[in-house]
Structure 1
């Protein structure tokens, strides 16, 4: 099944109880709100699909895995309600990943920025290439990684999260692997795909009820995300309307 429009595409294929969920957008696989909404809905549907035991989440192309929020849409927001709603889109996706009854394997084939780092962190098991550097540049544009912070800190710890947030430069895939964001890294996409295929087939052979119960265990202690992430979206929504953020976003767009 494919869902495609001017705001990007979402494609799901199911084979041998493995659902491959692929998203894509021409702007380095960034996320406008419409694509976030469709991703959330598809994750919820797959969570309730008895024909699926495992989800492989991936993005299209050979460039960036995900460039995070859509700059065009961030620049277009004109009030607190619109801005908070936009950032709530990422909160919705992270909560859908958290609440999904299926194990989610992340295929991180390239660089991830901002919300892309959050989505990588919300995967239950992320595999990546050596090209999959990560960056949290939100402070440089006058906001902060407020919505995704709980997901990232849960994976790499608060000390590493602080390092990423305050030092807004790229961190290598090796760094991300050492901190626990990536379970394994590979030199090529071909090697990555070979490992993902073997690992997803192995997981798909396990008792789906056992996998679902383990998923609950993995995410114990995150129940407050159902309110916390939206409180964080409100903070981001307020800050993105500042003159500092508008000027920074325009400078980035015009580079």
Structure 2
């Protein structure tokens, strides 16, 4: 899968035109050709200029984080930059690319420093579009501090019990899922929503399946759409992934329920002590 993604990136870099403001591709050899590498995606779809701006933004931000020894931010950015080699989310300017928050912070800090050094530059002039924008609205949150203190106390008292209970419950539900889950003999994935793969393709109609059909269909199956046929280790990996997911959810659920029960128990015990 990874080789296919990088091979497709090589195709776009060597066989397609790179422009200043991006290119829209209409003559691809296959409709399933796509770019999964964020860097190649930005360069090809948005062009050299935006690619250079984003690269400079990352360079300046990382340089600043290194100077300030902000290890957590650097670790997060490193993770995203490495993952961007095989995923296109870095070109997504919405919620997926969290590193843009750090770049934005760096940008505003630099502008603030520039404003303090050269306050007379025209782009450093303050502009108030709405006169009411500088007003502050205070919303009192009464009782939040008490709730936080009580919750912290319950966690400190019952963390061992809640952790053990959560682990046991998570292990139990994970094993139960593994033993009872319906395991398909094959997965049929819609080629339109999947990475390109040169393997077997079939066409299935979800409303007219064979009587002995034991597979799992992902996406559209209308009899006209190509479906990739996935068998072997992918089936086992999907089962393991589901088991781990259910197990983690079980651990969290067991921990939360135990904490709630501990809170109720400790609360009742405190009331009894007060009465005595």
Q: TM-score range by the shorter chain?
A: under 0.3
TM-score, normalising length from structure 2? Answer: 0.17
TM-score, normalising length from structure 1? Answer: 0.19
Higher helix share: 2
Structure with greater Cα Rg = 2
**Bigger relative CO (Cα 8 Å, ≥ 6 apart):** 1
